[in-house]
Structure formats: C-alpha cells, structure tokens
Amino acid sequence: MHVIALDIGGTAAKVACFDDSFNSSFETYLHINATDVLSTERIIDLLMPVLEKSKMVGNEVSGIGISIAGTVEKDGLIRKSLNTKLQDLNLAKQLEGYFRLPVVIEIDSVCGAIAEWRIGVGKDLDTFLYLSIGTGIGHVFLLQGSIWKGLDNGATAIGHLHCSEDGECSCGKRGCLAAHSSGGGLSRKTGYLYDGKEIEFLASRGDKNCQNLLEEGEDKLALALSYAYTLLDYTYTIIGGGAVSQEWPNMDRLTKKTKEYLFSIVRNVSIQKGRFGAKGPILGAAITIMNALQQGEANVK
C-alpha cells in the first residue's frame, strides 16, 4: 500500500509518498510566509507532482493523509488554523472530490503523537502526554490507549495556556505558553530578527540574550507541565516538533524545573524527546490514513 501524506505547518508544508513500512519518497517542501494564505488550489498544486511521480514508478496511491496545525472536526472541517489562516474549510471533502481518493485530515499534534505511539519512543506506552513545539505549541493526551481530544475536539492547545502576564501571542492574547516557548514566540521576542534555530545557535556561541530567551522558554514549559502532571497524575511526557533539537529544551533542566513546581503528591515524572522531531506530523498523517484504509473507515463520499 502507498499513501500520500501532507503536513501543513506554520512556516512550511511538506508532502511525501509513504509505503506500508513508512519509507518515504518524492518529498516536496513549500515555504510559507507569514502573509501567505493557503487555498485548496495551492494545496492541490503541491500534492499533484508527488502523486504523479508515485504513479510513474508503479505505486498505486490508495489515499491521502493530512496533518494541520489547528482545530479539525471529525468530518474533516478545519474550524480554525491560526498559523495557516485556513478557517471553516472542509479541505478533506474538496480534495476527495478532486483526486477521487479517500482523504483523512487530523490535527498535527495528534499526528505527531500517533507516530511516537505506533513506531517511536511511546510504542510501549498506553498513557502519555505529547507536546509538539514548532511555530506554536500543541498537545495530545493518550489515556490508556485512547487519544483524548476533549468534548469538542479542543483539548490540543496547551500552547494557549496562560502562564505569565506578558508576551504577545499569535492568538491575540498575552501570556500564552506559545508566546514564550514556541519557535514562533521566541522569534517574535527578537523582533523576528532570528528564528528559533538561529536563537539556539547564538546562545551556543555565548549570546546572553538568546540564552535567557531559551531558559525562560524552558521555565514556562516546566510550569505548563507541572499543571498537566498535577491535573492528570500521569508519568510520561514526550516532546517533539520542529523547534525541538538535541540541545533544546535541555531535558535535565526542564525535568528539574517541572519537579520544583509540582505538588508533592505527584511522584513519577519522565520527560523525554521523541524519535521523529519535525517529521512526526507527516509520518503520523501517513499512519492515520493507512489505519483508516485498513479498517474500512476511509472512503470517497
């Protein structure tokens, strides 16, 4: 079986063809500027070359899986996506009509969690919190083998947890976790002079301002995680996403700060980085459409 997977993030869109061993081919990348507005037509133009190349080498594509930062209804309606400016769009239905292939669309943090759960560092776990740190910050809570999205599919936005009185956020409010600890939030604090990776590089070269930004980002992450541990009383946290690197967040420091903030009754805390980083969402999108096809849940309507 072969599927096409698309990950639409805040600064880039990535497409690839995956086989049923999750090997990828024909990877395509589109940079998204802050002023860009994605449309169905642009997404079709991005998908089409990968689909055609796959067919040219004899790969029969069975479906399309999409990961997107935002809130997605069960029927594929994108209710709101702050970083991509897509809103009230049933992208899955439109793409199914064009390509005549089943399309499944899911929230990027859910896709990242699925990738880690199925074939990553969470494959032996049935309960964990997954944080996706990229342009923004999303989360998913896997509870005894089931993904909890909340009553209205909204329990994926830990990045908008209020953790301070300052820090402008892309949602229009101030003090959100994402304003301090996401790649977009860190960049905003430099007046967009540097992106997250550049801030990390400068910090490694001794830039005190950048070092302070990264440490403050870790402190706010620790505060948010302490809330999660206190509310949910679980053990494992997995952190992935495009803003995560080998050096940042510093896991020893993050774990220590989280424990400092915790209520004493919470005893078991394990925080680790995921296996897939920025590749998690697109891989999870491939896994999601494959699972739906295998279970007979993905059909062209």
| Burial class for 13, CB neighbours closer than 10 Å (0-12, 13-18, 19+) | buried
* Placement of tokens 């909890």 in the chain: 148
Confidence of residue 103 (pLDDT cuts 50, 70, 90): very high
- Same domain for 74 and 148: no
Q: What is the rounded CA–CA span in Å between residue 247 and residue 265?
A: 30
Cα–Cα separations (whole angstroms), residue 209 to 66, 169, 200: 37, 20, 11
Give the model's confidence band at 150: pLDDT under 50 very low, under 70 low, under 90 confident, else very high: confident
- Structure tokens, 130: 């997954």
Which residues are bridge partners to 6 per DSSP?
A: 15, 66
In a domain, 115, yes or no: no
Same-domain status, 286 and 256: no
Do residues 284 and 270 both lie within one domain?
no
Beta bridge partner(s), residue 286: none
Q: Among 54-58, 81-85, 130-134, where is mean pLDDT lowest?
A: 81-85
**Domain shared by 96 and 139, yes or no:** no
- Return the CATH number at 231: 3.30.420.40
- Residue 144, domain member (yes or no): yes
Residues 176 and 250 in one domain: yes
| Structural domain of 78 | 2-107+279-294
For residues 111 and 108, give the distance between their C-alpha atoms in angstroms, rounded to a whole number. 5
38: confidence class by pLDDT, cuts 50, 70, 90: confident
Task: Tell me if 299 is assigned to some domain.
Answer: no
d(CA 125, CA 250): 23
59: tokens are 């790969």
pLDDT given at position 36:
66
* DSSP state string for 84-109: TTEEEEEHHHHHHHHH-S-EEEEEHH
Q: Which pLDDT band, with edges at 50, 70 and 90, does 37 fall under?
A: low
Residues 103 and 160 both lie in one domain: no
Domain count, the chain: 2
Residues 285 and 263 in one domain: no
Output DSSP code: residue 124: T
Cα(42)–Cα(53) distance, integer angstroms: 18
The answer on 197 and 82 residing in a single domain is no
* 218 shares its domain with 136: yes
Domain-located, residue 300: no
pLDDT digits (tens, 9 = 90+) for 195-235: 999 999 999 999 999 999 999 999 999 999 999 999 999 99
159 φ, ψ (degrees, to nearest 5): -65, -15
